[in-house]
Amino acid sequence: AQSVTQLGSHVSVSEGALVLLRCNYSSSVPPYLFWYVQYPNQGLQLLLKYTSAATLVKGINGFEAEFKKSETSFHLTKPSAHMSDAAEYFCAVSYRTGKLIFGQGTTLQVKP
């Protein structure tokens, strides 16, 4: 069965520092992978998605993620954190049936 694991339920960085949120997937076939962000009291918003076209995927708000098949990883990065990046981040994998399965989430805290 497909699943995703997010390493670290809470990540804290200083403003201007590198953001790295980790996601590993388990799948017998190349999956479709997504990163969503959820701000407080809001729904989820797609940051980026991997659909096999390119291994380095650029998303909104300066985020990007690299698909590494050898490591079964899809980590999310941003070179310089802003205060507005503080939110909950979910990695997700989709099934062929159209079901989207989310990881447990990582809370990103940005310190001034």
**Per CB under 8 A, 28 contacts other proteins:** no
Instruction: Choose between 41 and 70: whose C-beta lies nearer to other proteins.
Output: 41
Strands (E), the chain: 3-7, 10-14, 19-26, 32-38, 44-50, 56-58, 64-68, 73-78, 87-94, 100-102, 106-111
- How many residues of this chain bind other proteins (CB under 8 A)? 23
Question: Does 95 sit near other proteins (CB under 8 A)?
Answer: yes
Residue 102 interacting with other proteins (CB under 8 A): yes
User: Could you say whether residue 5 binds other proteins (CB under 8 A)?
Assistant: no
Pairwise CA distance, residues 90 & 111, whole Å: 20
Selected binder of other proteins within 3, 14, 42, 61 (CB under 8 A): 42
DSSP H or E segment with residue 83: none
Chosen residue from 20, 46, 54, 60 binding other proteins by CB under 8 A: 46
Kindly give, in sequence order, each residue whose CB lies less than 8 Å from that of residue 12, ignoring residues fewer than 6 positions away: 108, 109, 110, 111
Provide the binding-site residues for other proteins, judged by CB under 8 A. Answer: 32, 34, 41-46, 49, 51, 90, 94-105
